[in-house]
Structure 1
């Protein structure tokens, strides 16, 4: 099935019965593991959903912009930021990430399972231009699986596809929302980027219905050379 991933699509997702599960949970474990060694500065979470990762960054000293296309997701994010006492450290912007461009570059540009209405790798190309010299690009995406692996997962436990926390809904992300580590890093000019992490991982979590769910991730971290 082909998805449009436009504003209507994401507004419907965040107004639907998946929204509460997508907004719940802890920050992405890859972010927590990979970013702890960075000196906090300015950051943007592209496709921030309900703001879990943006709020985690703000609580750890970053000045954060969270950008997302879904109005209801951002309303949840603002409420959560206020409840966590970090509303002064994080601002949320409603934006179509396939066309919107920030007015500045950031020390950290990150995204977690986000896929706007454009080809996935071209979206990552856009994000790379938002990174300041010396800054970090950090991508967590849905891993592209071989057809045999997808078939096996569909008979077992799949995972959802939301920007933010859409895992655990028993669905596989469509091919157009997936990537591989090699596919992402091949687009990062080695004269401009130092790739620090390029992993493909598989982890098991409990889904919102209590079932174990396998999450297939692609994780890339790269530093832009000065």
Structure 2
């Protein structure tokens, strides 16, 4: 999910995200990330891995569209909410919820789609996200897709960033993945600017990166 980076780093990822979700009864809109919908809606359904699933909107959208989903997050409360939303949506049998600190453990298996939507964290150690995405690529089944969407910078309404944080470009993500060009094809690599609203509901702008790569069958 869209994990905005707006707070100083606490002691651990698990502590940060547990406190993040405990702060409010609902954090996200309940709608699937538009970039996921745009990139995946034409694909035939198969198996999907949703990394950093938050309250489960992406996983539920995928399940509604015929996918069998493994949804992963570090926060137990996020997973509890996601499972509840999946039951309400009638797709509980199509989604498996797993708790992982992805820097330490990773779901088993291979998947036709591995999705990492806005997998940013203010508590990640240097190189941690790169390592997670390399494991994500290794989990893509032959013929499958790795889809990585991320913010390209702070939103327009943040004039003084609360911390020093590097938002990687698609080129940097590709370089860190170190994919074999004989086995992988870049299908989309793009910077997208979109309208967004600040926490007070006022209009602004935000730029995002999207990278879609396909493994040879």
**1:184 aligned onto 2:173:** yes
Q: Secondary structure at the match of 2:190?
A: strand
Determine if contact 2:8/2:163 at 8 Å carries over to the other structure.
Answer: no
The structural deviation recorded for 1:115 is 3.5
Q: Which consecutive unaligned segments of at least 5 residues does structure 2 have?
A: 1-6
Q: Which consecutive unaligned segments of at least 5 residues does structure 1 have?
A: 160-169
Match of 2:20 among 13, 19, 25: 13
Match of 1:128 among 118, 124, 137: 137
Match of 1:175 among 165, 172, 182: 165
The structural deviation recorded for 1:101 is 2.1
Give CA deviations for 1:116-147 in whole Å, capped at 9, x if unaligned. 6342222211211110111100011122x4xx
**1:224 aligned onto 2:207:** no
Determine if contact 1:158/1:215 at 8 Å carries over to the other structure.
Answer: no
Match of 2:9 among 3, 7, 15: 3
CA distance in 1: counterparts of 2:53 and 2:164, whole angstroms: 20
Match of 1:197 among 188, 191, 199: 188
TM-score by length of structure 2 reads 0.85
Match of 1:49 among 38, 54, 63: 54
Determine if contact 2:146/2:212 at 8 Å carries over to the other structure.
Answer: yes
The structural deviation recorded for 1:25 is 4.1
Determine if contact 2:137/2:146 at 8 Å carries over to the other structure.
Answer: yes
Residues 62 and 85 of structure 1: CA distance in aligned 2, closer, same or farther (over 3 Å): same
The structural deviation recorded for 1:41 is 0.4
The structural deviation recorded for 1:192 is 1.9
The aligned counterpart of 2:203 is 212
CA distance in 2: counterparts of 1:66 and 1:42, whole angstroms: 11
CA distance in 2: counterparts of 1:174 and 1:74, whole angstroms: 29
The structural deviation recorded for 1:172 is 6.8
CA distance in 1: counterparts of 2:157 and 2:143, whole angstroms: 40
Residues 172 and 205 of structure 1: CA distance in aligned 2, closer, same or farther (over 3 Å): farther
Q: Secondary structure at the match of 1:23?
A: coil
The aligned counterpart of 1:84 is 89
In angstroms, what is the RMSD of aligned CA positions?
A: 2.3
CA distance in 1: counterparts of 2:61 and 2:199, whole angstroms: 21
TM-score by length of structure 1 reads 0.82
